[in-house]
Amino acid sequence: MYLGSVQRFIPARMKFTLKPYYRKLFSDRLHVVFWPTFRCNYECSYCTVRTKFAFSSVFPKQSEKRVDEWLVALEKLPPAMIYISGGEPFLYEGLPELVNRLPKKHQLLGIVSNVSLPARVYRKIERPFQLNASFHREFVDEQSFIARVKELQDFLHVHVNIVATPANLPMISSIDKLMQTHRISLHVDPYVDREFSYSASEQELLRKYTKADRKSLVDFNDFTPKQCSAGRNYINLLPDGQVFTCAAGFTYTMSPLYAELVKNAPLEHFRMANIFDAGFQLNGNDLVCRLPCKDACDYDSVLMTIRPAEGSLQPI
């Protein structure tokens, strides 16, 4: 079964309900979040990848690997389900070629994009996949964005994401209704920022729109030990080939936004190796991590908490 082909036939509500269980449902398949570039043509005020801290300064264009290099490296991995993130992934000029030539053993789950590039760029991809279109109201108005989504829907399965920032949250209801009018599914991502917290009324509003695959709140004070399969059946692959267990892991390791939070925390277990290293291999066992799970993509039913008094594992 090729998930890239069948996603359009799965109701959005069912898909988001099942997503926290993907690592269990497909336990024999590696899950890869692939970041071919951190560059972006938008500079959203709330973005921790581009604006608040520019990961492209750590991974500039010249550090990004070529398509032919990636194709060799990706052959090293066992069968994987790959999700392509960024930055704006389509600024990596070879992305369509890379996707079209992915080793057949791998499946492409989806690609996120702000859909600002010409439609001809997206048409170059021949494999079926879900395009997750990010709606950034700071850079595009609703009608222009919807027009672009509908243009892409002529040949792609498109789903829209929006971040519930303080500016966006009051508009979520009207945006959702507008998307429904145009038969466009909307997914709401909570705004995760260590210096921000929703009020009680905002939390209540947010709960109406967050799905089962997203926590509405992240507890940055949660330093309980957790057993996690990241590094064993889930990895994050960065532009220069570095492999981290999870997105929170490379954020905590590199971004000064979280330096105070992690100053006394061991970070060695997050950084695995570089996929281009001759001896690269996945972790053989789950890891135990005490840091908060910052990113919703890292939090699923595989995550467990250790109760020290009993020494047993209990689902969170």
Between CA 44 and CA 47 the distance in angstroms is: 5
Q: Is residue 72 part of a domain?
A: yes
CA–CA distance from 238 to each of 162, 221, 230, 271 (Å)?
Answer: 24, 27, 15, 11
Edge to edge, what strands does the sheet with 107-113 contain?
Answer: 186-190, 157-164, 130-134, 107-113, 80-84, 30-34, 234-237, 242-244, 271-274
Q: Is the pLDDT of residue 151 over 70?
A: yes
Residue 168, token pair as written in the block: 């966006």
Write out pLDDT tens, residues 248-280.
Answer: 999 999 999 999 999 989 899 999 999 999 989
Between CA 28 and CA 228 the distance in angstroms is: 16
pTM beyond cutoff 0.85: yes
Q: Is residue 294 part of a domain?
A: no
Between CA 98 and CA 95 the distance in angstroms is: 5
Q: Is residue 296 part of a domain?
A: no
Write out pLDDT tens, residues 155-170.
Answer: 999 999 999 999 999 9
Single-letter residue type at 52: K
* pLDDT the model gives residue 308: 44
Q: Is residue 88 very low, low, confident or very high in pLDDT (cuts 50, 70, 90)? A: very high
Single-letter residue type at 300: D
Write out pLDDT tens, residues 183-194.
Answer: 999 989 889 888
Within 8 A by CB and 6+ apart from 291, the residues are 223, 248, 252, 261, 262, 265
Domain count, the chain: 1
> Which residue, chain included where needed, has tokens 């889930």?
234
Between CA 162 and CA 13 the distance in angstroms is: 16
Q: Is residue 69 part of a domain?
A: yes
**Residue 74 backbone dihedrals phi, psi, to 5 degrees:** -65, -20
Which residue would you say has higher pLDDT here, 138 or 193? 138
Q: Is residue 50 part of a domain?
A: yes
Q: Which helix (H) or strand (E) holds 68?
A: helix 67-74
Average pLDDT in the 84-95 region?
96
* Least confident residue range of 78-87, 89-98, 208-217: 208-217
Query: What is the CATH classification number for the domain harbouring 177?
Result: 3.20.20
* pLDDT the model gives residue 297: 55
The DSSP 8-state label assigned to residue 268 in this structure reads T
Which domain, by its residues, includes 154? 3-220+233-284
- 8 Å CB contact between 133 and 105: no
Q: Is residue 256 part of a domain?
A: yes
Write out pLDDT tens, residues 11-61.
Answer: 555 555 555 556 566 666 799 999 999 999 999 999 989 999 999 999 999
Q: Is residue 51 part of a domain?
A: yes
Distance from chain centroid for Cα 136 = 16
Residue 187, SS3?
strand
